[in-house]
Structure 1
């Protein structure tokens, strides 16, 4: 296989992975449901090998898992995995703030907060979820580390999965005061170039959300 052929296969697999992930996020594919290679290949007009590669991409992102004799299944949140995910998130975000140039951070974070404010007041919970994840991606981006950015992208993908599968996005973003107050406090700390305050508020925000999601997972187990 030539390099161009390999690029085409990988590009197609990435496209199939995005399509399947969209089906997971919009609820068409539920937790624990199998993702059949043959049916997916026929539906999308691609080869089974392409679908298999796409599923491996999704496995690395935590969206699907493979079981012996069952194939690929949509991942279901567990308490242990949720705690581990939020521990990783906390480490990445706090580490990024430690490395950030605080003097130039304020306008970047303010712009990200303004997006949350806009979608929240327009009553768009899913858009607010995306704005929230973009806010935290902006925080990580302050470290100017492509590796940290990639780590957070993987974390955000799995976070999006959990919120979608748990149908908690509406609950998460229906409390205007809490969502806006928490992010506004973090934003003010960045605008003041107060690294210690930004870290403290960010850590409290992530830990509070971790406890909330863990409680939902435990109740549904």
Structure 2
């Protein structure tokens, strides 16, 4: 015999009833979370745009950054601008001076030399590691960038070509480091490159160094794809250190830093031949 439940079954609550049953504190917390996510997304977009303006040279070293003007230009409130300044300061691209404001950072030459030396070590290590385990897909990606560089040389050296080459060059070196597979190393490398970006654009100005630079990138690629770790590391180290020497010359220095051996760069790097990294 079927046993009946003497208690009346409770009706299934509607979606509206369930929504109304959510505690007010939980609803408020949800709204706060959504607001934080939206603010974070906006801050990221603002940070990316200001960083782009700095790296493109539209906001030059030493330029003062004004919250109100940037907020108007980007169509946002001052909050995201202020947070973007904090992120950019941590990245070494701006400096905040008490009672004066925020300024695009100028890299002192002694610090630039240190960054170049650190970059040389990173890229030498990356080249050696990659030569031992590069995949066909990675080799194809690097080869495509070098071929695009060579095409720019054939087509001419106007300002547009120099700008395109600059981006390809950055992409080539970042890919080399990324392909090693160490995320911490990639993050560190990108920070170093960003700090040197304005100096490196000056080095590239006029396009005179592009043909020599292309040949160096082709030699680096050849060593890596041939599995020659020694040649790959040596070529990348010389490539970066020659750029350091050129930076010192452009800054008016008559010689490399005292702690740099005269043979740090490859023998082909005679003073009369400027190189590009």
- Report the TM-score, using the length of structure 2 for normalisation: 0.70
Supply the distance in 2 between the matched residues of 1:12 and 1:120 (Cα, whole angstroms). Answer: 39
Conservation of the 8 A alpha-carbon contact between 1:137 and 1:149: yes
Q: Which has the higher helix share?
A: 1
Does residue 29 in structure 1 map to residue 59 in structure 2? yes
Instruction: Determine if the alignment matches structure 1 residue 181 to structure 2 residue 211.
Output: no
Q: 2:234 aligns with which of 197, 200, 220?
A: 200
- Residue of structure 2 equivalent to 1:170: 205
84-93 or 192-201, which deviates more: 84-93
Question: Unaligned regions of 5+ residues in structure 1, if any?
Answer: none
Counterparts of residues 6-155 of structure 1 (less than 5 Å)? 6-100=36-130, 101-104=132-135, 106-122=139-155, 123=157, 124-155=161-192
Give the direction of change, closer, same or farther, for the CA distance of 1:168–1:98 in structure 2 (3 Å limit).
closer
Q: Highest CA radius of gyration, 1 or 2?
A: 2
Could you list the per-position Cα deviations for residues 126-178 of structure 1 after superposition, in whole angstroms to 9, with x for gaps in the alignment?
110110111111211221122222222222322323334xx44324x423431
Give me the whole-angstrom Cα distance separating, in 1, the residues matched to 2:129 and 2:33: 38
Match of 2:4?
none
- Kindly indicate whether structure 1 or structure 2 has the higher relative contact order, using CA contacts under 8 Å at least 6 residues apart: 1
Q: CA RMSD in A?
A: 2.2
Unaligned 5+ runs, structure 2: 1-28, 254-277
Does the 8 A contact of 2:44 with 2:84 survive in 1? Answer: yes
Distance 2:196 2:148 in 1: 19
Moved over 4 A (4+): none
Change (3 A) 1:28 1:111: closer
